[in-house]
């Protein structure tokens, strides 16, 4: 945290919003203090510490959230958990795809729905990097899970790679099954919209935790339905299903998933081992059309990143 800019921003926030501005200016200080807990916690488990053929990332999936729907999906058994390397996607990418893992990365094909790949990943480092956020972005401001399923099926049926990663945006907000919890984003009115994500709305008391958790869980189900299809339409002897980070619903005064925080609800993520067999039941659609008209900053704002 840079002190000078923080002081200037804090003064402006307090001048503009009074006490609310003061509370907002204190959040970076609180997060900095909380990050000190990293000294006493594990640095996290890299996905490359294990052997796998296909790794499925459910973006922003809490471990306890997944256990709530375990009985609904036959392949969801013996859910374990691991400590993630960070508490937000950009830093997770930064600390996962590192120079000392260059050989493994070079043999990895990555189907990615998260726009942070542009700033954090170098396509030349991978066997293949398919950035679906460039071509499959849809309302209410996310990549639908069908796109990740289809392009992963297409990739694994047509090409041979040692490792494949399928990075779904669900259950990350916005929650597709709960449009009432997201205002959506109109590109033509970009500068005049409420850009708060659902976690900020929860923090401000504009939505109830019960409704947010329901939307979060339903969005996870949407992603898991697609993962189920994926597991029945590709061949992979060892599949890992996990997450990059979780979400905070007010624990320690934190909402969403700021970086570098050692909170259990942010860093304890699910870890499931299973297999996949291609039954040939799905003919994948083509999501690799022309680039989206949306600016990347607009896409990240739709996901709650400012």
CATH code for the domain of 223: 3.40.720.10
CB 255 within 8 A of CB 100: no
In a domain, 252, yes or no: yes
| CA pair distance 62, 270, nearest whole angstrom | 7
Q: Tell me: do 15 and 79 sit in the same domain.
A: no
Q: Tell me: do 97 and 231 sit in the same domain.
A: yes
At 189 the pLDDT is 39
| CA pair distance 133, 141, nearest whole angstrom | 10
In a domain, 46, yes or no: no
Q: How would you classify the pairing of strands 108-112 and 163-168?
A: parallel
In a domain, 45, yes or no: no
Q: Tell me: do 35 and 97 sit in the same domain.
A: no
Q: Which two tokens stand for residue 172?
A: 């990350």
Question: How do the pLDDT tens digits run along the chain, 306 residues long?
Answer: 556 564 455 455 545 555 454 445 555 655 555 556 566 566 799 999 999 999 999 999 999 999 999 999 999 988 999 999 999 999 999 999 999 999 999 999 999 999 999 999 999 999 999 999 999 999 888 999 999 999 999 999 999 999 999 999 999 999 999 988 875 444 343 344 456 789 999 999 999 999 999 999 999 999 999 999 999 999 999 999 999 999 999 999 999 999 999 999 999 999 999 999 999 999 999 999 756 556 667 777 667 666
In a domain, 47, yes or no: no
Q: Tell me: do 13 and 105 sit in the same domain.
A: no
DSSP secondary-structure letter at 120? Answer: H
Element containing residue 165 per DSSP (H, E): strand 163-168
Number of H helices, E strands in the chain: 11, 9
Q: Tell me: do 267 and 226 sit in the same domain.
A: yes
Task: Give phi and psi for 218, each to the nearest 5.
Answer: -65, -35
Residue written as tokens 């790949």?
Answer: 117
Q: Tell me: do 57 and 137 sit in the same domain.
A: yes
Residue written as tokens 């996990």?
Answer: 242
Q: Tell me: do 290 and 200 sit in the same domain.
A: yes
Residue 77: Cβ within 10 Å count: 11
What is the DSSP track for 197-255? -HHHHHHTTSS-HHHHHHHHHHHHHHHHHHHHHHHTSS-EEEEEEE-S---EESGGG-E
Domain that holds residue 252: 52-302
Element containing residue 108 per DSSP (H, E): strand 108-112
At 190 the pLDDT is 36
At 191 the pLDDT is 42
- The CA–CA distances, whole Å, from 141 to 76, 220, 292, 302 equal 28, 16, 11, 5
Number of domains the chain contains: 2
CA geometry: angle at 204 spanning 222 and 178, to 5°?
20
In a domain, 111, yes or no: yes
In a domain, 117, yes or no: yes
At 13 the pLDDT is 52
In a domain, 167, yes or no: yes
Q: Which two tokens stand for residue 237?
A: 């002897």
In a domain, 245, yes or no: yes
At 15 the pLDDT is 58
Q: Which two tokens stand for residue 171?
A: 């259950």
Mention every residue, 6+ apart, whose C-beta is less than 8 A from residue 206. Answer: none
Q: Tell me: do 124 and 15 sit in the same domain.
A: no
At 28 the pLDDT is 60
Q: Tell me: do 204 and 280 sit in the same domain.
A: yes
Q: Is 44 left (phi over 0), alpha (psi -120 to 50) or beta?
A: left
Q: Tell me: do 57 and 162 sit in the same domain.
A: yes
Q: What angle do the packed helices 3-17 and 19-35 form, to 10 degrees?
A: 150
pTM: 0.85
- Which of 73, 64, 70 is closest to 246 using CA atoms? 64
Q: Tell me: do 81 and 205 sit in the same domain.
A: yes
Reported as a single tens digit per residue, the pLDDT across 153-176 is 999 999 999 999 999 999 999 999
Q: Tell me: do 145 and 35 sit in the same domain.
A: no
């Amino acid at each position: 945290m840079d002190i000078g800019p923080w002081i200037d921003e804090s003064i402006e926030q307090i001048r503009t919003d009074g006490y609310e501005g003061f509370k907002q200016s204190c959040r970076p200080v609180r997060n900095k203090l909380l990050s000190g807990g990293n000294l006493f916690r594990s640095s996290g488990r890299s996905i490359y510490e294990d052997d796998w053929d296909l790794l499925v990332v459910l973006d922003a999936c809490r471990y306890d959230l997944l256990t709530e729907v375990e009985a609904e999906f036959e392949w969801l058994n013996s859910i374990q958990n691991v400590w993630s390397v960070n508490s937000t996607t950009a830093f997770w990418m930064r600390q996962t795809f590192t120079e000392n893992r260059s050989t493994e990365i070079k043999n990895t094909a990555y189907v990615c729905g998260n726009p942070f790949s542009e700033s954090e990943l170098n396509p030349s480092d991978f066997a293949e990097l398919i950035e679906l956020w460039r071509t499959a972005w849809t309302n209410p401001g996310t990549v639908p899970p069908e796109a990740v399923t289809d392009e992963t099926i297409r990739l694994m049926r047509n090409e041979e790679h040692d490792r494949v990663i399928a990075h779904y945006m669900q259950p990350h907000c916005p929650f597709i099954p709960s449009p009432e919890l997201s205002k959506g984003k109109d590109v033509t009115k970009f500068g005049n919209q409420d850009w708060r994500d659902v976690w900020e709305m929860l923090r401000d008391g504009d939505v109830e935790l019960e409704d947010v958790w329901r939307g979060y869980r339903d969005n996870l189900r949407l992603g898991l339905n697609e993962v189920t299809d994926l597991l029945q339409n590709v061949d992979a002897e060892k599949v890992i299903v996990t997450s990059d980070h979780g979400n905070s619903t007010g624990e320690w005064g934190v909402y969403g998933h700021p970086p570098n925080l050692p909170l259990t609800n942010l860093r304890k993520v699910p870890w499931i081992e299973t297999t996949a067999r291609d039954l040939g039941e799905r003919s994948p659609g083509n999501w690799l059309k022309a680039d989206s008209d949306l600016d990347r900053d607009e896409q990240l704002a739709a996901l709650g990143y400012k």
